[in-house]
Amino acid sequence: MEFKSQQDVITWIQSFQRFGIKPGLERVKWMLTELGNPEQNLRIIHVAGTNGKGSTCKMLASALEANGYKIGLFTSPYLDAFNNRIAINERDIDSIQLCEVAAEVRAILCHMPVDELGSVTEFEIITVLGLLYFNKQQVDFVVLEVGLGGRLDATNVISPIITVITNIGFDHINILGSSLAEIASEKAGIIKAGIPVICGVKQPEAIQVIRQKSLEENSKLYELGIDFHNKIDSISLDELEVQVLFDGKPVLNNQSWTTRLVATYQADNLSMALATLQVLYQQQLIDISLPYTKQGLLDAVWEGRFEVIQRQPLVIVDGAHNPEGMTALIDSLNRHFGQNKKYIWCVGFLQDKEIAGMLQLIINKANKIIITKPNSDRSADPHLVQEQILAQQTQIEVYVKRDILEAVNAALKQADKDDVVCIAGSLYMVSEARKWWTNTEDKEQRLVKE
CATH of the domain at 278: 3.40.1190.10
Domain boundary among 283, 299, 315: 299
The CB density around residue 34, as the number of other CB atoms within 10 Å, is: 16
Q: What is the DSSP string of 320-369?
A: --SHHHHHHHHHHHHHHH-TT--EEEEE--BTTS-HHHHHHHHHTTEEEE
Tell me: do 266 and 382 sit in the same domain: no
Domains of the chain: total: 2
Span 278-285, mean pLDDT? 98
Contact 332/55 with Cβ under 8 angstroms? no
Rounded to whole angstroms, the Cα distance separating 189 from 29 reads 16
193 and 286 assigned to the same domain: yes
Phi-psi region of 261 (alpha: psi -120 to 50; beta: other; left: phi over 0): beta
In this structure, is residue 185 part of a structural domain? yes
Chain-centroid distance of CA 264 in Å reads: 16
Q: Does residue 371 lie within any of the structural domains?
A: yes
End-to-end C-alpha distance for the chain, whole angstroms: 55
Considering 243, 271, 299, which residue would you say is the last residue of a domain? 299
Residue percentage of the chain with pLDDT more than 90: 75
Does pTM surpass 0.85? Answer: yes
Asked if the structure places residue 27 within a domain, the reply is yes
- Rounded mean pLDDT of 403-410? 93
How many other CB atoms are there within 10 angstroms of residue 113's CB atom?
10
Q: What pLDDT, on the 0 to 100 scale, is given for residue 263?
A: 95
Read off φ and ψ for residue 348, nearest 5 degrees: -155, 145
What is the phi/psi pair of residue 134, to 5°? -60, -40
What are the tens digits of pLDDT across the range 209-225? 999 999 999 999 999 99
Domain containing residue 346: CATH number: 3.90.190.20
Q: Calculate mean pLDDT across residues 405-418.
A: 93
Asked whether residue 391 is assigned to any structural domain, the reply reads yes
Q: pLDDT grade, residue 443 (50/70/90)?
A: very low
Q: Is the domain of 438 the same as that of 294?
A: no
DSSP sequence for 1-56: ----SHHHHHHHHHGGGGG-----SHHHHHHHHHTT-GGGG--EEEEE-SSSHHHH
Domain assignment of residue 143, given as a range: 6-299
Question: How much is the average pLDDT of 38-57?
Answer: 95
pLDDT class of 450 with cuts at 50, 70, 90: very low
Domain-terminating residue out of 260, 281, 299: 299
Residues 346 and 269 in one domain: no
Residue 174 has pLDDT above 80, yes or no: no
pLDDT at 1: 65
Average pLDDT for 131-138: 98
CB 162 within 8 A of CB 64: no
Nearest partner of 31 among 132, 116, 99, 151, judged by Cα: 132
pLDDT band at 444 (very low <50, low <70, confident <90, very high): very low
CB atoms within 10 A of CB 283: 11
Residue 193, in any domain of the structure: yes
3-state SS, 180-215, equals HHHHHHHHHHHCCCCCCEEECCCCHHHHHHHHHHHH
| pLDDT tens for each residue of 386-404 | 999 988 877 899 999 989 9
Residues 155 and 212 in one domain: yes
